[in-house]
Amino acid sequence: MTSSLRERRRQVLRDEILTASQMLIAERGYAAMSMDDLASRVGVSKPTLYSQFSTKEELVVAMATQVMERLFSVVDDDGETGRSALDRLTDLLRTSIQVQLDQRFTAMQLWMPEIVHMLKAHQEPLDQICKMDAAVIDLVHRAISDGEIDPQLDPPSVVRIFYALFMSPNMGRLSLTGTPSPEMMPNDVATFFRRGLEPR
Domain with residue 11: its CATH number is 1.10.10.60
Assign residue 146 the CATH number of its domain.
1.10.357.10
Q: What are phi and psi of 78, to 5 degrees?
A: 50, 30
Domain, as residue range, for 10: 1-54
Query: Domain total for the chain?
Result: 2
For the chain, the maximum distance between any two Cα atoms, rounded to a whole number of angstroms, is 62
Task: Among 38, 54, 70, identify where a domain stops.
Answer: 54
Domain co-membership, 80 together with 152: yes
Domain co-membership, 16 together with 88: no
Burial 88-111 (b: 16+ CB within 10 A, else e): bbbbbbbbbbbbbbeeebbbebbe
Residues 106, 25 contacting (CB under 8 angstroms) = yes
Q: 33 or 107: which carries more pLDDT confidence?
A: 33
Domain co-membership, 24 together with 100: no
Domain co-membership, 112 together with 20: no
Domain co-membership, 104 together with 147: yes
Residue 158: count other Cβ atoms within 10 Å of its Cβ: 22
Domain co-membership, 83 together with 40: no
Per residue in 91-145, pLDDT tens?
989 988 887 777 666 555 666 677 777 778 888 888 888 888 899 999 999 999 9
Q: Is residue 37 predicted with pLDDT exceeding 70?
A: yes
pTM to 2 decimal places: 0.76
Domain co-membership, 37 together with 112: no
Per residue in 149-189, pLDDT tens?
999 999 999 999 998 898 888 777 677 788 888 899 999 99
Task: Tell me what the pLDDT averaged over the chain comes to.
Answer: 84
Q: Is residue 44 predicted with pLDDT exceeding 70?
A: yes
Domain co-membership, 103 together with 125: yes
